[in-house]
Amino acid sequence: MAFRALLSEVEAEASAANITYYPCVKDAVSFAKDASSPFAYKFYNKDEVILGKKMRDWLRFSVVYWHTFRGSGADPFGAPTLPNARGWVVVDGDLSKQSRKQILEGCIRRVDAAFELFVKLGVDYYAFHDRDIAPELSTIEETNDLLDAVTDYMKKKQDQTGVKLLWGTANLFSHPRYANGGATNPDFRVFAYACAQVKKAIELTVKLGGEGYVFWGGREGYMSLLNTDVRKELDHLAAMFKMAVAHKTELGRPDLAFYIEPKPKEPTKHQYDYDAQTVMAFLRTYGLENDFKMNIEPNHTTLAGHSYEHDIVFSCAYDMLGSIDCNTGDDQLGWDTDQFLMDDRKATLVMMAVIKMGGFTTGGLNFDCKVRRESTELEDIFIAHIGSMDCFARGLIQAAHIISTNKLQSMVDSRYSTWKSTPEAQTVESGKAKLALLEEFVKNLDAAKQAVSTVPSSGKQELFEMVFNDEIYAALRK
């Protein structure tokens, strides 16, 4: 029997059971500035207006399906620690021993648990991989039938709650077939399967009214150059992207935002979408720069050896920032730990960039984060999200103050003042200058005894850092 034919029965049984998945939090989390409880927002007041927009519209918080409802707490050295505390199916188990109805029931219980959390947190968005919401079955037809049934139910939950899909994506990294890559696999049959999976995931995203779609190439890279034709693999990756662009247009959603999520390594030794600048170069090489933007995950940015905000700032500078997976890593660990950000300084730097670009249009702050393996209680899921949402709310308040006072920006402008005050500099920026013009400019400086000093002008880094810190604390005092 098709999964869709079973949906009404399973849905009715779930409704009759009326399970509360988070009895530890009875009511929706609300704003209470002076609250002592960890189950209240002290700074995130979603309808408060900052620089002409509500907080919720600046921040556009989204909860992820994978870590939150599929995270088991397992690591390379230990077994799962979390499923026993969850009232939904975290790990699917042996699907060959389950009936179709049992498989569908597991998916529906996860949906119910997810939307209960979304509503109680008061977030407006969520995100998923296709394999988060439903497991892969023996054939692509069976798998897609299950996905159709589950997303039918998800659409109902969206309509009931008002929670929307920020973006969807396809998992092209977990299944053994993708050990050598998805779109960059040397086996054409695997490439074709990856494209079929992406096709369906885009269709599901459109069905659910998603605002965007993310491509993360965890296996799109290499472990050894000895057995890899890098040009061929990148050509094939671009070919899949171009087919995806064509498909969203065929579906009547040319406005569906496409994002690429950079990461330098893990699980591959080298990932082709290493960082924001690498991805921008790739897109320009293949004529895709107008079809994609970035979904930046700062934990990936730091793995590339950059500062936390680096890829966000660079993406904003070229109008290429689409969305942010707002997690963080651990400075003492060399892998992707996907922690909830609790650092005001980093949150402020992120929100300064977001404000300067005018805010998100289709993206948001997506909590690609997981509670620690040792955080085994259900309430820890709430505490983690609440704490990080408050952190970004403080970051927004602080960033708005810094931008409004204009102290930092005026200091930056001062560093570059000769580019504004010198006609020859303006000629350079207009693209009309020639080297001979600049040679003559330098000769004139020499003649006027105004040669460039051998002592460079001070960058005043310490002053910038002092003012930044002063402004952060001034914002909170205000």
Catalytic residues: 129
Place of tokens 């895709």: 288
Nearest-angstrom CA–CA distance, 257 and 214? 8
Helix (H) or strand (E) holding 325, with range, is strand 321-325
322 DSSP assignment? E
Whether the Cβ atoms of residue 365 and residue 326 lie closer than 8 Å to each other: yes
Residue 337 burial class via C-beta count within 10 angstroms: exposed 0-12, middle 13-18, buried 19 and up: middle
Nearest-angstrom CA–CA distance, 444 and 418? 16
Q: Measuring CA to CA, which residue among 103, 195, 202, 99 is closest to residue 146?
A: 103
Nearest-angstrom CA–CA distance, 185 and 233? 7
Distance in angstroms between the alpha carbons of the first and the last residue of the chain: 63
Whether the Cβ atoms of residue 22 and residue 378 lie closer than 8 Å to each other: yes
Nearest-angstrom CA–CA distance, 394 and 344? 7
Beta-ladder partners of 293: 259
